C-alpha cells in the first residue's frame, strides 16, 4: 500500500469511528447515517473520475476504501458502487449517478431489455422481468442491471435503473444485508450493449469485489481472535498460551495470508487492465474456502460469547458465510476457473496457471 492509500484508510477509519456495527433488520437494513457521512467526505466516489462526478483516485484507493469498510462491517453498498457498478457504467460509456446516492448492481435473474425510442435520445431501453439476489435492493437509489439482449443479439445489456419506487422483496443474507428481488415492469433506462467478454468481465469484477471484502473481513476476524486469545484467561493463563489454541490461530493466519496474497494479485491484474476473469475466479474461490476454517476457528477460540449478538464477531462471520457464495457461488467460480485453465487443452494446465495472475 502506498502512502496515498494509507491516507484513504485513515480517512475512512475516522468516519467509521463514529458508527457502531449493528444487527441488520428489515426495519433498519443499512447504515444510512454512515453512508451520508462517507458521501459528505467524498468517499463514495473514490476511484471514479472527477469528470464523471466521482472523487478521483485509482483502483487501489477504491479497494482501500472497500477493505476498510468491510473490516468494519459497514452496512453500506460501497463495494458494489466503487468496484462494480461505477466502473462498469463508465466502461459502457453510461453516465454515473450522483455518487452520494447509493448505486448497486444486479447480475442474476431473468430480465429482458428491449430498445425503445422514448424521446430521451439513443441508448434507451425498456427492462422487463425480475432481477434476483440484488445487493441492497430497497436501499440502492439506482441499480446497474445486466439484462438479456434482444433475441438474436450477442452479449447483454447493462442498464442503469432508477430503483426509487420499485418493488423489492425482503430477502436478506445471513448477516441481514438486503438481497431481495427487483421487479421490473417495463422500466425505462439508459443502457449499452456489452460483448460476452465484457459481461464476463463485469461478473468477474463483482466476484473480485466480494473477494476483497472477504480478505479484509478475514484479516479482521483473525486480529480479533488473536486479541481475544491474548486477553481471555482460563486455567490461570491466556488462551493464546495453550499450544492447541496456537495451532488454531496459526492455521487461521495461513489461510488469511493466502487469501490476501491472491486477492492483492488479482486486484493488480485488474489495475493493469488485463483479463481478470480467471484471477477473480481464483481469488473468490480461495477467499471463500478460507471462510470455513477462519470463521469456524474464530468462533471456537471465542467460545460461547462469540456465538451471541452481544459480541462483535458475528458482524463479520455472518457476512463471510454469505459473501463466499454471493456474486457467483464458490462452486460456480471453481468451475469457471477449472474450465478456463483447460481452455488450451489438458497439457496446457501449467502454462495457464502461470498466466492467471
Partner 1 sequence: MSSSLTLAPAPPSEAAEVVRAQVREFLAAELAAGSFTTHVDTWLSGVDPAFSRKLGERGWLGMTWPREYGGHERSAMERYAVTEELLAAGAPVAAHWIADRQSGPNLLRYGTEAQRREILPRIAAGECFFVIGMSEPDSGSDLASIRTRAARNADGDWMVTGAKVWTSNAHASHYGIVLVRTTPADPADRHAGLSQLLVDLSLPGITVNPIRILDGGHHFNEVVFDDVVVPGDMLLGEEGAGWHQVTAELAFERSGPERFLSTYPLLAEFGRRACDSGDSAQLATLGRLSARLLALRQLSLRIAAALDRGELPDIPAALVKDVGTTFEADVIDEVRRVVDVVPSLDSPDPLGRALAEAQLHAPGYTLRGGTNEILRGIVARGLGLR
Are the beta carbons of 163 and 140 closer than 8 angstroms?
yes
Q: Does 85 bind partner 1 (CB under 8 A)?
A: no
Among 31, 219, 325, 326, binds partner 1 (CB under 8 A): 219
Q: Does 253 bind partner 1 (CB under 8 A)?
A: yes
CB of 231 to partner 1, least distance (A): 12
Are the beta carbons of 70 and 79 closer than 8 angstroms?
yes
What secondary structure, in 3-state letters, does 208-265 show? HHHHHHHHHHHHHHHHHHHHHHHHCEECCEEHHHCHHHHHHHHHHHHHHHHHHHHHHH
Among 240, 292, 311, 322, binds partner 1 (CB under 8 A): 240
Helices in 104-242 by DSSP H: which ranges?
196-231
b/e burial code for range 171-199 (CB count within 10 A of at least 16 → b)? ebbebbbbbbbbbbeebebbbbbbeeebb
CA–CA gap between residue 173 and residue 176 (Å, rounded): 5
Footprint (CB under 8 A) of partner 1, residues 56-75 = none
Nearer to partner 1, 85 or 214 (CB): 214
Nearer to partner 1, 110 or 349 (CB): 349
CB of 155 to partner 1, least distance (A): 24
Length of the chain, in residues: 357
Q: Does 350 bind partner 1 (CB under 8 A)?
A: yes
Q: Does 9 bind partner 1 (CB under 8 A)?
A: no
CB of 349 to partner 1, least distance (A): 4
Site string for partner 1, 300-339 (x = CB under 8 A): ------------------------------xx-xxxxxxx
Are the beta carbons of 89 and 144 closer than 8 angstroms?
yes
Which residues have CB under 8 Å from 67's CB, separation 6+?
A: 9, 212, 213, 215, 216
CA–CA gap between residue 325 and residue 211 (Å, rounded): 10
Q: Does 233 bind partner 1 (CB under 8 A)?
A: no
Nearer to partner 1, 94 or 298 (CB): 298
Among candidates 328, 344, 353, 345, which has minimal Cα distance to 278?
353
Nearer to partner 1, 103 or 291 (CB): 291
Footprint (CB under 8 A) of partner 1, residues 265-304 = 265, 268, 281-283, 285-286, 289
Are the beta carbons of 64 and 70 closer than 8 angstroms?
no
Q: Does 229 bind partner 1 (CB under 8 A)?
A: yes
Say how many residues touch partner 1, by CB under 8 A: 54
Among 140, 157, 194, 222, binds partner 1 (CB under 8 A): 222
The three cell numbers locating residue 180: 431481495
Nearer to partner 1, 24 or 357 (CB): 357
CB of 219 to partner 1, least distance (A): 5
Tell me the Cα Rg of the chain: 21
Q: Does 200 bind partner 1 (CB under 8 A)?
A: no
Q: Which residues pair with 159 in a beta bridge?
A: 145, 191
Among 10, 153, 167, 353, binds partner 1 (CB under 8 A): 353
- State the residues that interact with partner 1 by CB under 8 A: 219, 222-223, 226, 229-230, 240-241, 243, 246-247, 249-251, 253-262, 264-265, 268, 281-283, 285-286, 289, 330-331, 333-339, 341-342, 345-347, 349-351, 353-354, 356-357
Amino acid at each position: 500500500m502506498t502512502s496515498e492509500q494509507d491516507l484513504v484508510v485513515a480517512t475512512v477509519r475516522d468516519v467509521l469511528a463514529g458508527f457502531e456495527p449493528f444487527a441488520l433488520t428489515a426495519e433498519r437494513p443499512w447504515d444510512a447515517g454512515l453512508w451520508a457521512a462517507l458521501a459528505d467526505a467524498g468517499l463514495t466516489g473514490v476511484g471514479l473520475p472527477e469528470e464523471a462526478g466521482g472523487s478521483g483516485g485509482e483502483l487501489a484507493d477504491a479497494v482501500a476504501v472497500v477493505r476498510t469498510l468491510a473490516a468494519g462491517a459497514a452496512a453500506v453498498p460501497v463495494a458494489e458502487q466503487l468496484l462494480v457498478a461505477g466502473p462498469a457504467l463508465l466502461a459502457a460509456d453510461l453516465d454515473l449517478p450522483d455518487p452520494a446516492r447509493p448505486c448497486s448492481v444486479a447480475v442474476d435473474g431473468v430480465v429482458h431489455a428491449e430498445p425503445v425510442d422514448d424521446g430521451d435520445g439513443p441508448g434507451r431501453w425498456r427492462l422487463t422481468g425480475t432481477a434476483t439476489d440484488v445487493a441492497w435492493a430497497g436501499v440502492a437509489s439506482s441499480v446497474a442491471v445486466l439484462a438479456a439482449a434482444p433475441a438474436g443479439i450477442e452479449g447483454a445489456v447493462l442498464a442503469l435503473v432508477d430503483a426509487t419506487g420499485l418493488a423489492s422483496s425482503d430477502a436478506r443474507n445471513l448477516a441481514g444485508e438486503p438481497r431481495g428481488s427487483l421487479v421490473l415492469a417495463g422500466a425505462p433506462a439508459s443502457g449499452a450493449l456489452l460483448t460476452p467478454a465484457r459481461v464476463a468481465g463485469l461478473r468477474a469484477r463483482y466476484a473480485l469485489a466480494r473477494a476483497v471484502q472477504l480478505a479484509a473481513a478475514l484479516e479482521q476476524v483473525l486480529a480479533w481472535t488473536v486479541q481475544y486469545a491474548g486477553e481471555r484467561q482460563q486455567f490461570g493463563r491466556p488462551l493464546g498460551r495453550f499450544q492447541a489454541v496456537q495451532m488454531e490461530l496459526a492455521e487461521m493466519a495461513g489461510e488469511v495470508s493466502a487469501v490476501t496474497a491472491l486477492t492483492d494479485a488479482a486486484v493488480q491484474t485488474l489495475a493493469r487492465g488485463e483479463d481478470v476473469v480467471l484471477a477473480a475466479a481464483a481469488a473468490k474461490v480461495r477467499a471463500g474456502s478460507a471462510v470455513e476454517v477462519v470463521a469456524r476457528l474464530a468462533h471456537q477460540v471465542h467460545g460461547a460469547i462469540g456465538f451471541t449478538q452481544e459480541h462483535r464477531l458475528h458482524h463479520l462471520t455472518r457476512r463471510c458465510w454469505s459473501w463466499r457464495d454471493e456474486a457467483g457461488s464458490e462452486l460456480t467460480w471453481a468451475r469457471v476457473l477449472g474450465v478456463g485453465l483447460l481452455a488450451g487443452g489438458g497439457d496446457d494446465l501449467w502454462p495457464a496457471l502461470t498466466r492467471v495472475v
